[in-house]
């Protein structure tokens, strides 16, 4: 277990992603370093009300604590009574143009420690795409790049894709959040070095997965109808993050920095009572053609 190597990689990845997104957007991200009284800190880098990104953030955190929060120890009794150390980079980009999908990516490392005992550790993460107006070539490209990230490390893609489909599912709506991607947790297969290599590959493939989609769609003309539907669908994003997302729950329960944790929320959101899209409309196509379980590659 090499915490310094993990930390160095995460900070480099954060800087690389921010640099490319500043190039695509043309704006400048704000940098906000912070300390956590209970132990550790982080660096939030965000942008709001810019040309391409209506809101976006790339968050690095490295936190420590003497006791695990309930959300972590309840499902893993072996962690009870241990201290913890958690590092990660988490990002969400909410583009202004409704034809550019929202995207989420997270890579994280977690270790539970007790004096005199070996640490219990694992890697986790993944990325997923949430379109408002779906394009099959975008979905295929995103999923193929996710698969490419995993191919050198064995037959993981089908498992991680299924895990993503199941994790990013709004049970109360009976619909997926988007078109998925890959997701994994509790990963330590092969020991530290092989697991670390797979995890880095996932992080390294984020920009190749997402940047070409932004470049392809950012200048697509749109109007108030498309913006209105985008705001309505963003409501699903908020519901998932506040009800189901493990990272949000862990962060809030472990006395994390609220501004950084809730940075993932979209800036403009709408809800309507029992709304349905008009049959045959582009909005209806999102539900019939994209918010369905599908093997994109």
Enzyme catalytic residues: 104
> Please, how many CA atoms are within 13 Å of residue 236, restricted to the half-sphere of its CB?
22
Q: Which residues contact 97 (CB under 8 A, 6 or more apart)?
A: 52, 217, 218, 219, 220, 222
Structural tokens at position 127: 């990325």
Please give the DSSP secondary-structure letter assigned to residue 34.
E
Residues 6+ positions from 95 with CB-CB distance below 8 Å? 52, 53, 54, 101, 102, 214, 218
Q: State the DSSP H helix or E strand holding residue 108, giving kind and residue range, or none if neither.
A: strand 102-113
Q: Measured between alpha carbons, how far is 5 from 31 in angstroms, rounded to an integer?
A: 23
- Alpha-carbon distances, residue 24 vs 21, 50, 106, 130 (angstroms): 5, 11, 20, 19
Query: How far is it, in rounded angstroms, from Cα 134 to Cα 142?
Result: 12
Contact 52, 28 (CB under 8 A): no
**Which DSSP symbol is given to 288?**
I
Contact 43, 86 (CB under 8 A): no
- Give the position of tokens 């997701």: 183
Beta bridge partners of 27: none
Distance between CA 260 and CA 58 in Å, rounded? Answer: 9
């Amino acid at each position: 277990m090499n915490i310094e190597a993990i930390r160095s990689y995460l900070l480099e990845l954060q800087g690389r992603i921010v640099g490319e997104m500043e190039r695509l957007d043309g704006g400048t991200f704000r940098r906000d370093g912070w300390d956590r009284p209970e132990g550790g800190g982080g660096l939030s880098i965000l942008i709001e009300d810019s040309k391409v990104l209506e809101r976006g953030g790339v968050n690095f955190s490295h936190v420590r604590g003497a006791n695990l929060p309930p959300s972590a120890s309840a499902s893993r009794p072996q962690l009870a009574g241990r201290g913890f150390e958690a590092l990660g980079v988490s990002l969400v980009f909410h583009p202004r143009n409704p034809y550019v999908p929202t995207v989420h990516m997270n890579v994280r490392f977690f270790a539970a420690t007790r004096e005199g005992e070996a640490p219990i550790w694992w890697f986790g993460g993944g990325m997923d795409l949430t379109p408002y107006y779906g394009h099959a070539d975008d979905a295929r490209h995103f999923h193929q790049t996710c698969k490419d990230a995993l191919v050198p490390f064995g037959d993981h893609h089908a498992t991680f894709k299924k895990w993503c489909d199941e994790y990013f599912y709004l049970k109360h709506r009976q619909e997926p959040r988007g078109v998925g991607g890959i997701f994994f947790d509790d990963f330590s297969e092969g020991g530290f070095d092989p697991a670390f290599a797979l995890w880095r590959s996932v992080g390294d493939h984020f920009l190749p997965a997402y940047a070409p989609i932004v470049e392809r769609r950012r200048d697509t003309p749109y109007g108030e109808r498309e913006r209105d539907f985008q705001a309505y669908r963003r409501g699903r994003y908020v519901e998932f993050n506040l009800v189901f997302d493990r990272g949000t729950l862990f962060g809030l329960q472990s006395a994390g920095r609220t501004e950084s944790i809730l940075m993932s929320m979209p800036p403009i959101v709408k809800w309507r009572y029992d709304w349905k899209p008009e049959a045959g409309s582009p909005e209806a196509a999102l539900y019939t053609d994209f918010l369905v379980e599908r093997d994109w590659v």
